[in-house]
Each structure stands twice: as structure tokens, then as C-alpha cells.
Amino acid sequence: MRGPHNILRLIRTGATLERTGAMGLIMDAFEAPPLVRGTMRFLAWPFQWMGYKGDETTPPAPRALTALGPAYIKFGQILSTRPDLVGEELAGQLRVLQDKLPPFSVDVAKASITHELGHLVEEMFDDFSPPVAAASIAQVHKARLRDTGEAVAIKVLRPGIEKAFRRDIDAFYFAARMVELLAPGARRLRPTEVIAHFEGVVMGELDLRLEASSASEFSANTSGDTGFQLPPVQWHLSSRRVMTMGWADGLPLGDNAALDAAGHDRAELGERVLQLFLNHALRDGYFHADMHQGNLKVAGNGDIIAYDFGIMGHIDEYTRRVYAEILYGFIKRDYRRVAEVHFEAGYVPADRDVDAFARALRAVGEPIFGMDASRISMGSLLSYLFEVTERFGMETRTELILLQRTMVVVEGVARSLNPQINIWQVARPVVEDYIKKTIGPRAALRDFGRTAAVLSRYGPRLPGLVEAALIRQSAPPAPPPPSPWPMRIAFAGIGATLGAGGAALALAFM
């Protein structure tokens, strides 16, 4: 229920951050101005007794977010991939949220598997291990199939996770509506629609049958990608709350020391993970939308292995072309074209000045070129982009939220492998290849062929459709509908004869 009772939940959020010591740490990481810092501390301090205590053996930030629940943990997972935003220390602390949360008991996991699959765990698996990873929504066990001996990963949802997520999302809706009410200028960001989008993504992640389907489709799309692997789905051992896949054997992509010891080229890995994401998003329009270090490994032969397909992103072909043209314009430093694409796609209101918008985009893009990544303040860049969008009335594009969020995460992963990586130089060959294939004379001919094929399917029906349209155009106007009042009077009369109950029924029909 989305009501004022969520005030308590939001107060408890601030109180928990204050009680655990995470408030000051987060304010420092984001370099919050003194007024914001003072206001937040002033509002949270009197209520810190209401905050969750959390696990005192863990650092303040993961302690607070873990205590607050799964939706907050998701937020922490995103920040853990952005040391350029929150600093190396805080990013390192938050990394435990990716797959090192407190697990639930093996007995509970076995009971859930037995209930979902209809057989005892011992009948299906050998060497059923304790949890090898525990995240915000589920935990994973390693086992072997009794009939083949193949090593598999068994993912099991946390007990009561659906209810916990609904509670958090409920509070987020309330916060979004308060923002729209108290800060009308923020309505262009469509916070309620953003939360609705987040809700749809999360609720889909809570059905492991959908995740298995996503993994299967993703595998079909990427089967030809060099240096990329996906573990196969074991469909006969998967259900709504349990999913079984092949075991991904490799080193965690976030363990730089282990990667160096094994002789892997971290700079090349950083470039590859970024280019793989761009290929999946632009070429296929279907991409892994949770590509943090906890969901990526490096095989012995150097292949990147992706798993955990609970959050996948999809963008249609037109949006892909718009996104590619924007990226390509920044790469070519053609800010006028970037501005025009925003106007053509309707991202910026048509009454705004395209030249002024192009100049604002130049101020965003130029600092990137000629500088190594370590000298670029991504926080400052994002802050300026927000000012630009506000000034030109750009609305939040809910269909691009997941793409933008994943781009931030993947860039963070790439930079954790190679702090000197230049995102624009790495992205250039992928974007240029996509532009050549989808924009230009050859692409126009292909699009025309597709259009002609669609029209040809309607060929036999076209004469009838034209004739029907001409008949509708020449037909006399339809008479006005009869007044509803005789019907209403009749219902009222029937109600009067049936007494008070009938009168209420009559009013309902009126």
C-alpha cells in the first residue's frame, strides 16, 4: 500500500545511515556541499535510535545498506563499481554486497529445492555444497548431477524476498511522489515512472524461469562472440524459485591480484568487457544489465564468463540507432549532430535552441578528449550533464534507464581493471561498425526491402482496405447517441420499488 505510512520507512533509512556511521562517509564520497550535509545530519540525528543496528563487524556503508534491505543493497552494488565516484575505499567496502552477503541455511535451501522440483536433493545431486555466493535476492550452491557427474550451480531465492522487495519499492514510490509534490522542477525526471521501471525489472528477477529464458536467448545471440562464454541452463532442474546452470569455473573479474598472478592482461580485459556490452546493446538490442564484478569471471583461457541473468535490458532498433548516433557524435566531436539527434528523437522540446544545446554538449564532451581517465571527474561530468538537461527541459527516458545504468556499471568494471582506460577510444570501433551497417545507403536499401516485404504480405488485402476506407469516408454522419437519462430514470424507478438497497444499486448503474 503506497501511503503516508512510508514516512516511517524513509525516516528509518536516514536514521540507519546515521546510526551506523554511513551518513558522513557517503556525504564525503559524494562531496556534498555543507548545506546538504548539515541538513541531512540535522534531520537524521534525532531519529538515529530508530535506525537498524546492522552487523557491527562490517564497515559502515555495507552494514547500513544490508540492514535496510534488498533494494538498498542493489543501490550499493551499483556504487561498488564506481570508485571514480565514491573513492576506492568506499567502493571496496561496498563490493561485498555483490556476492558476499550473509547466507540462509543449507536446510532451508534444500527444502525449497525439494518443494520446487518435486524430488529430494539427494536424488538429483551429489556433493551439495554450502553457499558459495549470497547476494541480495538469492544464493548459489555448487553440486554435481547424479546422472552425469557434471558440475552445476544451483540458484535459490531467499525466503520471503518477494515481500521484502515490495516493502522497499513501496517506500520508493512514496518518496518519488513526495519529490513530485514538493519539487515541481524535478517532475521532468519522472521519478514515479523510474520507480515503476525499477519495479518491473526487480519483479522479473524474482522469477527464475524468466532468468533461465533470458540466459537461453542471450546465449543464442552471443554464440559467435570471441572471448565470451555463458554457462548452459539445465531446464529440467529449474523452476520459479530454483535455477540450475553449468558451473562457471574461473577467477573473479574483481580480483586484480589473482588475475595478475594468472598472467591475464587486465587492460585488454577492460577493453573487451566494454566492447562486448556495446556489441550486445547495439547489435542485438539485448544485453546483460547487471554486469558488475560479482557476475563476471575469467576462464583459464582468458574468456570472460557472464552469469546471473536476472536483469536483462532490451532496446528497439530505432532507439539503438539514436543511441549510436549520439555516441558517434561525441566520438567525432560533432556536437551539432548530437544536438540534432536529441531534437529529432524528441528528447529535447522542439522550441529550444539547437545551437545553444550543441554548445552545452561541447562543454560536456571536450574535457574528455586529450585527457587520461584518471584526470576526469565523472562526478563533476554527471553533475554538469544534469544542469544541461534541466536547462533544456529534457525528460527522463524510461526506456533508456537500464541502458544508461548498465553503461555506468560496465565503465566502472573496465576502470577497476585499467584506471587509464579511455571509454571513447575503446567504444569507437564498435560504434563505427554499427553506424556503417545501420546508417547509410546500404542500410537504407535493407530497410526499404523490409518495408516492401511487409507491404507484400498485405497485397491481396489492399483493394479491400482501400474500398472500405472510401466507403467510410462517403458514409453519412452517424446519428447522435440516445440520451442516457431515460435509462437512468428507468433504473431509478426500479430502485425505488426495491427500497433502499435497490436505490443504491440503481445509483451504481447511473
173-200 per-position pLDDT tens digit: 887 777 777 666 656 656 787 677 767 7
| Identity of the highest mean pLDDT range in 57-71, 286-300, 406-420 | 286-300
- Report pLDDT for 404: 72
498 pLDDT tier (thresholds 50, 70, 90):
very low
Q: What is the mean pLDDT of residues 61-70?
A: 84
Most distant CA pair in the chain: distance in Å?
90
122 pLDDT tier (thresholds 50, 70, 90):
very high
pTM value > 0.75: no
Q: What is the mean pLDDT of residues 199-210?
A: 81
Q: How many CB atoms lie within 10 A of CB 21?
A: 13
Position 359 pLDDT exceeds 80: yes
- Report pLDDT for 184: 67
**Amino acid letter for position 106:** V
Residue with more model confidence, 109 or 471: 109
Q: Strands 251-252, 296-298: parallel, antiparallel or unpaired by DSSP?
A: antiparallel
Catalytic residue among 99, 290, 308, 334: 290
For residue 240, give the DSSP letter.
S
Report whether 16 contacts 68 (CB < 8 A).
yes
Residue that the C-alpha cell 542493489 belongs to: 74
- Report pLDDT for 332: 83
Quick one: which of 142, 65, 140 has its CA closest to 96? 65
**Amino acid letter for position 412:** G
At residue 279's C-alpha, the angle toward residues 278 and 284, to 5°, is: 115
500 pLDDT tier (thresholds 50, 70, 90):
very low
- Report pLDDT for 484: 43
Region of 208 please: left (phi>0), alpha (psi -120 to 50) or beta.
alpha
The whole-angstrom separation of Cα 281 and Cα 283 is 6
- What radius of gyration, in Å, describes the C-alpha atoms of the chain? 28
The whole-angstrom separation of Cα 427 and Cα 284 is 16
Q: What is the mean pLDDT of residues 391-402?
A: 67
Task: Give the domain ranges of the chain.
Answer: 6-99, 162-202, 249-457
Q: Which residues contact 505 (CB under 8 A, 6 or more apart)?
A: 495, 498
Report whether 267 contacts 237 (CB < 8 A).
no
Helix spans in 280-316 (H):
none
Whether 126 is catalytic is no
**Angstrom distances, CA of residue 162 to CA of 104, 192, 199, 243, 416:** 15, 20, 11, 17, 32
Q: How many CB atoms lie within 10 A of CB 331?
A: 21
Report whether 141 contacts 129 (CB < 8 A).
yes
At residue 264's C-alpha, the angle toward residues 260 and 265, to 5°, is: 100
The whole-angstrom separation of Cα 372 and Cα 420 is 6
Q: Choose the weakest-confidence range: 111-115, 130-134, 235-239, 301-305.
A: 130-134
- Report pLDDT for 496: 33
Residue with more model confidence, 486 or 21: 21
**Amino acid letter for position 218:** F
Quick one: which of 420, 423, 428, 429 has its CA closest to 411? 423
503 pLDDT tier (thresholds 50, 70, 90):
very low
435-492 per-position pLDDT tens digit: 888 876 666 666 666 667 666 666 677 677 777 777 776 666 656 555 443 433 333 3
At residue 53's C-alpha, the angle toward residues 52 and 58, to 5°, is: 120
Q: Choose the weakest-confidence range: 20-29, 119-128, 409-418.
A: 20-29
- Report pLDDT for 25: 75
Position 333 pLDDT exceeds 70: yes
300-309 per-position pLDDT tens digit: 999 999 998 9
- Report pLDDT for 361: 85
- Report pLDDT for 399: 60
- Report pLDDT for 342: 85
How many Cα atoms sit within 13 Å of 338 on the Cβ side? 20
The whole-angstrom separation of Cα 28 and Cα 21 is 12
Position 432 pLDDT exceeds 60: yes
Question: What is the distance, to the nearest Å, from the Cα of residue 300 to the centroid of all Cα atoms in its chain?
Answer: 30
The whole-angstrom separation of Cα 221 and Cα 223 is 6
308-326 per-position pLDDT tens digit: 898 888 888 888 888 888 8
**SS3 of 145, please?**
strand
- Report pLDDT for 492: 34
209-235 per-position pLDDT tens digit: 999 999 999 999 999 999 999 999 999
Mean model confidence pLDDT for the chain: 78
The whole-angstrom separation of Cα 241 and Cα 232 is 18
The whole-angstrom separation of Cα 4 and Cα 175 is 10
| Identity of the highest mean pLDDT range in 111-120, 348-357, 359-368, 483-492 | 111-120
DSSP H or E run through 172: helix 161-182
